[in-house]
Structure 1
Amino acid sequence: MSDNIRAALLIMVSMTAFTVNDALMKLASGGLPFFQQIFLRGCLITGGLFVLAWSMGHLRYRTTPQDRKLTALRTAAEAVGTVFFLTALYSMPLANLSAILQALPLTVTLAAALFFGEAVGWRRIAAIVVGFVGVTIIIRPGMDGFTVYSLYGLAAVAAVTLRDLAARKLSSTIPSTRVALAAAIGVTVLSGLGSVVLQERWVVPSLGEGALITGAALCLMAGYTAAVAGMRGGDIGFVAPFRYTSLLVALILGLVLFNEWPDRLTMIGAGIVVATGLFTLYRERASRQTAALSAKGLRPR
């Protein structure tokens, strides 16, 4: 098995694990207060990542002031994005929300061009515009299929875009486990504060609810581990498109677990977003190859 194929399989595993986590959290949402649910999952993830980082010696890594600021920014974006995402998840179909999140490659590319000055050609700009048309078809503002929770989904996309931009500026030497551990702590602290501020009345989870929260935490840690291994083990341009596995898994889980299936307009919008996202990833890969050849004094074929 080649490195790229192995990495692609790992990405598919990670996307499946992340989506199963979403489904488990939605299943557990009926009997537990909102922030309590996030807090309990956060405690489990924080403990698991702490053990992982400690066993790998990553806790001894000394971060630079710049990396500490970027990690703090990424953590804040992760925490805010989690609240927006779960708020939307508990009130709209899983596949619909997953379809909105497929716009991430487009938003990250656009934001990198606006804030980092990265070169983006007219083809990718056109793909981004068409992709946003697809997102508009999914959420359908002003029409019968529109809900305010679609806006929460868009807010989650914005927060995750900020998170990914901060991650792109981190030093390549900082261990991924340290970054993930900081995010887990941030989400846990925010959810605890949210529970106190809103004066949630905590309840003792049932055995089934505890199993769902534990399963969600395990899926999130497995997804994170597989994603890191996948992105580091293969060519990013080859591996990245396999992230769209999450939409297929969301469609299946939504139908099986919640008897949900997107309507025709949502499917059309999702298809547009995925197609433009794939094209954007392809053009980014081609641009990197051209730049690499130019640096060597060669011409692309």
Structure 2
Amino acid sequence: MTPLASPAVESGANRRGIIAMCTAMACFMTNDTLVKLVAADLPSGEIIAIRGGFATIMVFAWLVAAGHLNAIGKVTSPLVAARAGLEAVVAFLFITAIASIPIADITAIFLITPLLITALSGPLLKEQVGWRRWSAVAAGFLGMLLVVKPGGAGFVAGSATAMALASVVFCAVRDMVTRFIDPRIPTIVITLTTCVTVAAFGAAMIPFQSWVPPSPTHLGLLLAAATVVVVGNHAMILAFRGVEVSLVSPFRYSVMVWAIVSGITVFGEWPDATSWVGIALIVGAGLYTLHRERVRLRVRSSKVEAQATLP
């Protein structure tokens, strides 16, 4: 009976993972929408500090409720601290950029992060990256150029677009660092460290930017943003537990649907024809990269099974 039950269990886990991934993407896009609304009035450091403060309170309460208070000392881990610092830089660059860039465009730019990780995995992790995956990276890079339109009126050195691109690089490095964090450290501890560091980073930026007294509306929007970020992070973790990662991962691209809907309905922003082509290239390249990873995993599994059956 066990062999017959396993596929059903796996199917249920995969279904849960897909739902969790789509939920996480919806939460993250809701956060981006709320932050973009507030960014029209408040400076980025202030936004990061207030949202980070709300998120820290929520995550700390979650940590206590989950019984991980005894593991809080793990926040001193160098890799955990490094990841938190990188996340703070990503948050600052992204929130500063999103005030000036259409939400669908900046979301598309951020979707090149998995492709950049693929490109970095060769020289940094000594992983073998074949010509097919390099071709996908090149296609994604071309798509990014079509979205940001270097040389156009919307792109100048030091502009919001440049900051968005820089945030992608730091995001990729952050994810690379995450791979080396001790798996025994509870995820909620890593999340708490990140929230505290991001909030502190935002507070440190306030003296260098003008302080704008937040209205009750601003505070309400940032409280909602903090809530969906916490829920989104939890859903993202749930999406990858006990599932086929190569099956669930492509659903991260559902964020583009939310981004386009948000851009049109909330901000009245329609991607132009060139951006549509760029978005399609980025999403297609990402999906193909995930497909190739699934093929490589299948080949490796077949080799292991074949060796196990040898006398």
- TM > 0.5 fold call: yes
CA drift of 1:246 comes to: 1.0
Q: Which residue matches 1:95?
A: 104
Deviation readout 1:229-260 (Å, 9 max, x if unpaired) = 11114211011000011111010011111100
Q: 3-state SS of the aligned residue for 2:266?
A: helix
Note closer, same or farther for the CA distance 1:136–1:199 as it changes in structure 2 (3 Å cut): closer
CA distance in 2, matches of 1:119, 1:174: 29
TM-score (normalizing by structure 2): 0.90
For this pair of structures, how many residues does the alignment match? 296
Note closer, same or farther for the CA distance 1:69–1:94 as it changes in structure 2 (3 Å cut): same
CA distance in 1, matches of 2:237, 2:164: 24
Q: Which residue matches 1:168?
A: 179
Q: Which residue matches 1:192?
A: 203
Q: 2:56 aligned with 1:46, yes or no?
A: yes
Query: Which moves more between the two structures, 97-106 or 280-289?
Result: 280-289
Amino acid at match of 2:112: A
CA drift of 1:9 comes to: 0.7
CA distance in 2, matches of 1:262, 1:61: 46
CA drift of 1:119 comes to: 1.7
Q: 3-state SS of the aligned residue for 2:181?
A: coil
Deviation readout 1:76-100 (Å, 9 max, x if unpaired) = 1100011111111001100010011
Contact 2:30 2:228 in 1 (8 A): yes
Q: 3-state SS of the aligned residue for 2:240?
A: helix
Q: Which runs of 5+ in 1 are unaligned?
A: none
Q: Which residue matches 1:141?
A: 150
CA drift of 1:63 comes to: 6.9
Q: 2:287 aligned with 1:278, yes or no?
A: yes
Q: Which runs of 5+ in 2 are unaligned?
A: 1-10
Deviation readout 1:164-218 (Å, 9 max, x if unpaired) = 001111122221111111111111111111112x153341x22211211111011
Amino acid at match of 1:285: R
Contact 1:74 1:167 in 2 (8 A): yes
Q: Which residue matches 1:123?
A: 132
TM-score (normalizing by structure 1): 0.93
CA drift of 1:11 comes to: 0.4
Amino acid at match of 2:244: D
Amino acid at match of 1:140: K
Q: 2:84 aligned with 1:55, yes or no?
A: no
Deviation readout 1:32-77 (Å, 9 max, x if unpaired) = 2321111110001011111111221223227779x81211211111
Amino acid at match of 2:122: A
Amino acid at match of 1:38: I
Note closer, same or farther for the CA distance 1:34–1:143 as it changes in structure 2 (3 Å cut): closer
Amino acid at match of 1:24: L
Taking only the aligned residue pairs, the percentage that are identical comes to 31
CA distance in 1, matches of 2:52, 2:298: 40
Q: 1:177 aligns with which of 169, 188, 200?
A: 188
CA drift of 1:145 comes to: 4.5
Q: After TM superposition, list the pairs within 5 Å mapping 1:236-275 onto structure 2.
A: 236-275=245-284
Kindly report structure 1 stretches of 4+ aligned residues shifted beyond 6 Å.
62-65
Larger radius of gyration: 2
Q: Which residue matches 1:288?
A: 297
Q: 3-state SS of the aligned residue for 1:61?
A: helix
Amino acid at match of 2:188: T
Amino acid at match of 1:14: A
Amino acid at match of 2:173: L
CA distance in 2, matches of 1:289, 1:60: 40
Q: Which residue matches 2:116?
A: 107
Amino acid at match of 2:185: I
Contact 1:63 1:174 in 2 (8 A): no
Amino acid at match of 2:18: A
CA distance in 2, matches of 1:17, 1:64: 28
CA distance in 1, matches of 2:242, 2:306: 28
